[in-house]
Amino acid sequence: MSDVKEDVAGERIAKRMARAGLCSRRDAERWIAEGRVMVNGKKLDTPACVVGPDDVILVNGKPLAGAAKTQLWLYHKPRGLMTTHKDPQGRPTVFDNLPPGLPRVISVGRLDFNSEGLLLLTNDGELARRLELPSTGWLRRYRVRVNGLPHKQHLTELEQGVTIDDVNYGPITASVERSQGDNTWLVVGLREGKNREVRRVMEHLGHQVSRLIRTAYGPFQLGAIEPGKVKEVPGKVLKEQIGVGKAPAPKKK
């Protein structure tokens, strides 16, 4: 790749692709490995490549568009959808069921098949990556229905973190909202959001989760958004909450 600048001012090719709204940075690196990206007429074989404004970039034979205006949407994910662009088992996905009129979007993190509630969507893969990082420290809040009534002391102990099957989970706040028959609704808050974290922690305490609704992600609230609908975050709010060209400042724990 002698025609591609490696050590001059510019940005990594994967970051450029993500900012164009084409894919996430991780997907960009995979596409490069698959030989789907060309720079200045040569097939790229490594993501360790810095490109400048004058470099000609082709992805799947098509010119890479310039960086799109960053947009963020709040989406009320219903149960029964996978948060993936393509499911190997053929299950329905979030991206097959979005309202018409949206550009290609990427989710900020995931909600599993049976979980519902707030999912952030953006056309900027670089932004999605930044908002997923644990260093943002953004609080994720959930309403969780479990069987039985968890012991108050057990919920309090979660604030110190817990280790389950050699996986360390950070501090979690959990309190009883109300009891309903044989079930209890909890309000749960956490900052890491590891895979199936809430379900695994509750199972560790002896309580199966029968419903899980994410109500907030950092400063963004689910509010009254109906299942399957989206609401765009105004540009002014996006700038205030996220800033321009920088990740959100870590929140205090």
The verdict on 120 and 229 lying in the same domain is yes
Q: What is the full per-residue pLDDT of the chain (253 aa) written as tens digits? A: 434 444 345 888 988 888 787 787 888 999 999 999 999 999 998 888 999 888 899 999 988 877 678 899 999 999 999 999 888 999 999 999 999 888 889 899 899 999 999 999 998 888 888 888 777 778 999 999 999 999 999 999 999 999 999 999 999 999 999 998 999 999 999 998 888 999 999 999 999 999 999 999 999 999 999 999 999 999 899 888 887 434 444 444 4
Residue-level pLDDT at 9? 57
Residue-level pLDDT at 204? 96
Range of the domain at 204: 139-216
CATH code for the domain in which residue 55 is found: 3.10.290.10
Residue-level pLDDT at 67? 66
Query: Which position among 27, 55, 87, 112 bears the catalytic label?
Result: 112
CATH code for the domain in which residue 148 is found: 3.30.70.1560
The verdict on 145 and 212 lying in the same domain is yes
Whether pTM exceeds 0.85: no
The verdict on 86 and 152 lying in the same domain is no
The owner of tokens 């069987």 is 147
Domain presence at residue 253: no
Whether the CB-CB separation of 77 and 121 falls below 8 Å is answered with no
For the question of residue 45 being annotated catalytic, the response is: no
What's the longest Cα–Cα distance across the chain? Answer: 69
How far, in Å, CA of 44 to CA of 54, rounded? 16
Q: Name the residue type at position 83.
A: T
How far, in Å, CA of 161 to CA of 134, rounded? 15
How far, in Å, CA of 17 to CA of 64, rounded? 7
Domain presence at residue 249: no
Domain presence at residue 90: yes
Whether the CB-CB separation of 144 and 209 falls below 8 Å is answered with yes
Number of domains observed in the structure of the chain: 3
Look at phi and psi of residue 228 and say left if phi exceeds 0, alpha if psi is from -120 to 50, else beta: left
Three-state DSSP state, 129:
helix
How far, in Å, CA of 210 to CA of 244, rounded? 40
Residue-level pLDDT at 22? 78
The verdict on 147 and 212 lying in the same domain is yes
CB 167: neighbour CB atoms within 10 A?
11
The verdict on 84 and 117 lying in the same domain is yes
Domain presence at residue 247: no
